[in-house]
Amino acid sequence: MILIIVAAVIILDQLTKFIATRNLLLNHPFDIIGGIFSLTLVHNRGAAFGILKNQIYLFVFTSAFAVILIYSELRNNKHRTVYSVALSLILAGALGNLIDRLLFGYVIDFLDFHFWPVFNVADSAITIGAVMLGWTLLFTKEKNVS
């Protein structure tokens, strides 16, 4: 199940980024819901919210390190739990954005809710996984969480 989640998120992330780069102009919003949601192609050279711009080596190193740690935790956790799904989503998102950084030197973002920084499918997977992970660690009594 973990492999399916990771593969599905990476494929969806890379496919949507490919479609966005082929159909959108850089930094030119395409309105979907006026004033609320647009598709806006952005090359994010920073981390979350664009902080630490142009630190590609730092981002590649920390992403690769996080991928190794999460993969290691998933291999050691033999139970199929919300914890494993959460880690799988975070792993997939990290890999999706790492692929961009390695190929282009930046992350391709295109989902633009005007009240939030532009993001992508990988960012969404990381966020959903982090919320699930936090919920699991705070509010469940799973004994297999290490």
Is 109 assigned a catalytic role?
A: yes
Q: State whether the Cα torsion 125-127-130-132 is positive or negative.
A: negative
Among residues 13, 100, 112, 123, the one annotated as catalytic is 123
Q: pLDDT tens digit string along 8-22?
A: 999 999 999 999 999
Is 13 assigned a catalytic role?
A: no
Among residues 13, 100, 109, 112, the one annotated as catalytic is 109
Q: pLDDT tens digit string along 41-83?
A: 999 987 766 666 767 788 888 888 988 999 888 888 766 689 9
Q: Calculate the CA 74 to chain-centre distance.
A: 17
The rounded distance, in Å, linking the Cα atoms of 78 and 74 is 7
**Percent with pLDDT over 90 in the chain:** 64
